[in-house]
Structure 1
Amino acid sequence: MTGDPTSSPIDVQGPGHWEGQLGTRGRRDVPNPAGHSPQTSVAMDCRSRSRLRRGCPRRPWSRSHGRGSRRFLGSRRSPGSDSPGPARLLGQIVTFVTPETILPWHQTLIALRWTSSGSCLESMMRSARLALTAIMPYDPRWPSDVATVVSTRRVKVMWARTRLKIGWRDLAAGAWGCLIPGSRSSLTRRVEGYWGDGRGTVAAYSVRSGFDLMIQALELETDDEVIFSALNVKGMIKIARRSGLTPVPLDLDIAHFGPSVEQLERAITPRSKVLVVAHLFGTLLELDAFIACARRHGLLVVEDCAQAFDGRAFSGHPDADLSMFSFGPLKTSTSLGGALIRVKDAELRDKMRAIQAEYPVQKSRAHFKRVVQFAGLKILTSRLAMGALYRFFSRRGKDYESALADRVRSVAPLGSAKKLRYLPSKGMLRLLARRLRTFREGSLAARARKGRLLRDLIGDAVVLPGQANEQHNYWVFPLLVDEPRAFIDGLRREGFDGSNLPKSQAVAAPEGREHLAATTATQALADLIIVPCYEGISDKSLKREAEVIKSIAARVGSDRTKGYADVTTEATA
Structure 2
Amino acid sequence: MRPRKLFDIDWYDLAFGLTLCLWPRGDRAVYAQWEEQNTLPCLSVRSGFDLLLQALNLPEGSEIATTAVSIPDMQQIAAQHKLVPIGIDLDLATLQPRLEQLESCITPRTRMILAAPLFGTQIDLRPLDEIARRHQLLLVEDCAQAFSRPGYLGSDLADVNLLSFGPIKTATALGGGLIRVRDAQLLKRMIRAQNQYSLQPRRAYALRILKYGAMKILTQRHLFDLFIRLNRLMGLDADQAVKPLTRNFQGHDLLGKIRKLPSQPLVAMIARRWSGYRDQRIERRTELGRLLASEIGNDTEVAGISAVESTWWVFAIAAKDPIAVVRSLRQSGFDATSCHNLCVLKTPSIPPGEMQWLLQNCVFLPIYPELSEAEVRRLGQAVKVALGKSRS
CA distance in 2, matches of 1:361, 1:190: 23
* Offset at residue 360 of structure 1 (A): 0.7
Letter in 2 for 1:553: L
**Hey, what does 1:539 align to over in structure 2?**
373
Q: Distance in 2 between matches of 1:316 and 1:524?
A: 25
Q: Is 1:556 the counterpart of 2:390 in the alignment?
A: yes
Counterpart pick for 1:311 among 141, 146, 149:
149
Q: Counterpart amino acid of 1:210? A: G
Which of the residues 164, 187, 195 maps onto 1:357? 195
Contact 1:462 1:480 in 2 (8 A): yes
1:507 to 330, 340, 345: 345
**Aligned partners of 2:248, 2:50: CA distance in 1, in Å?**
20
Aligned residue type for 2:194: Q
Paired residue secondary structure (1:515): coil
Pair 1:419-2:253 in alignment: no
Structure 2 unaligned spans of 5+ = none
1:432 to 270, 289, 312: 270
Partner AA of 2:166 in structure 1: G
Q: Residues 321-360 of structure 1: matches in 2 within 5 Å? A: 321-360=159-198
Larger-Rg structure: 1
Please list the CA deviations of residues 321-373 of structure 1 after superposition, one character each: whole Å capped at 9, or x if unmatched. Answer: 10111111111111111111111111111111111110111000000010000
Offset from partner CA, 1:506-539 (integer Å, 9 cap, x none) = 0021xxxx23244322111111121111111011
Q: Which residue of 250, 260, 263 maps to 2:98?
A: 260
Does the Cα contact within 8 Å between 1:240 and 1:246 map onto a contact in 2? yes
The 10-residue stretch of structure 1 (538-547 or 432-441) with the greater mean CA deviation from structure 2: 432-441
Find the counterpart in structure 2 of residue 169 from structure 1: 12
CA distance in 2, matches of 1:413, 1:190: 37
Please state how far the C-alpha of 1:436 moved relative to its aligned partner: 2.9
C-alpha distance in 2 between matches for 1:273 and 1:188 = 37
Residue 459 (1) aligns with residue 285 (2): no
Equivalence map 1:79-94=2 (5 Å) = none
Amino acid at match of 2:277: F
Tell me by how many angstroms 1:442 deviates: 5.0
In structure 1, give the amino acid aligned to 2:345.
Answer: V
Taking the TM superposition and a 5 Å limit, the aligned residue runs for 1:190-229 are: 190-194=29-33, 197-229=35-67
Shift of 1:188: 8.1
Q: Work out whether residues 258 and 278 of structure 1, in 8 Å CA contact, stay in contact via their aligned partners in 2.
A: no
Q: 1:415 to 1:525 in 2, by over 3 A?
A: farther
Q: 1:402 maps to which residue?
A: 240
SS of residue matched to 1:226: strand
- 2:361 alignment partner AA: D
Query: Is 2:326 aligned against 1:488?
Result: yes
| 1:93 corresponds to | none
For residues 248 and 188 of structure 1, do their structure 2 counterparts lie closer, same or farther at Cα, with a shift above 3 Å needed? farther
Q: d(CA) in 2 for partners of 1:393 and 1:329?
A: 22
Q: Deviations over 1:526-558 (max 9, x none)?
A: 111211111110111111111111111111118
Alignment partners' CA distance in 2, 1:181 and 1:410: 24
Aligned partners of 2:30 and 2:275 also within 8 Å: no
Tell me if the contact between 2:139 and 2:160 (Cα under 8 Å) persists in the aligned partners: yes
- Alignment-mate amino acid for residue 106 of structure 2: I
CA distance in 1 between counterparts of 2:58 and 2:389 reads 52
8 Å CA contact 1:206–1:337 kept in 2: the answer is: yes
Aligned to 1:236, what secondary structure does the other structure show? Answer: helix
> Which digits, 9 at most, give the CA deviation of each residue in 1:36-79, with x for residues without a partner?
xxxxxxxxxxxxxxxxxxxxxxxxxxxxxxxxxxxxxxxxxxxx
1:527 paired to 2:370: no
Are the aligned partners of 2:37 and 2:180 in contact in 1 as well (CA < 8 Å)? no
Instruction: Provide Cα deviations, 1:234-273, integer angstroms capped at 9, x if missing partner.
Output: 1111100111111110012112123121111011010001
* Equivalence for 1:15: none
Over 3 Å counting, the alpha-carbon distance change for 1:225 and 1:441 in structure 2 is same
* Structure 1 residue 301 displacement after superposition: 0.6
CA distance in 2, matches of 1:216, 1:230: 22
The 3 A distance-change label for structure 1 pair 527 and 274 is same
- Distance (whole Å) between structure 1 residues aligned to residue 64 and residue 28 of structure 2: 31
Mapped partners of 2:29, 2:42: distance in 1 = 13
- Cα distance in 2 between the residues matched to 1:351 and 1:501: 38
Moved more, 376-385 or 517-526: 517-526
Aligned equivalents of 2:251, 2:31: Cα separation in 1: 24
Alignment-derived partner of residue 274 in structure 1: 112
SS in 1 for 2:85: strand
Q: Kindly state the Cα deviation for residue 393 of structure 1 after the two structures are TM-superposed.
A: 2.7
User: How far did 1:387 drift?
Assistant: 1.2
Q: Count residues with an aligned counterpart.
A: 392
2:381 aligned partner, one-letter code: E
Deviation (angstroms), 1:391: 2.2
Given that 2:67 and 2:88 are in contact with CA atoms closer than 8 Å, whether structure 1 keeps it comes out as yes
Q: Secondary structure at the match of 1:460?
A: coil
1:306, distance to aligned residue in structure 2 (A): 0.9
What RMSD, in angstroms, separates the aligned Cα atoms of the two structures?
A: 1.9
Retained in 2: the 8 A contact 1:256–1:468? yes
Q: Secondary structure at the match of 2:364?
A: strand
| 1:214 Cα deviation from its structure 2 partner | 0.4
**Which residue type is aligned with residue 160 of structure 1?**
P
1:123 maps to which residue?
none
> CA offset at residue 163 of structure 1?
1.9
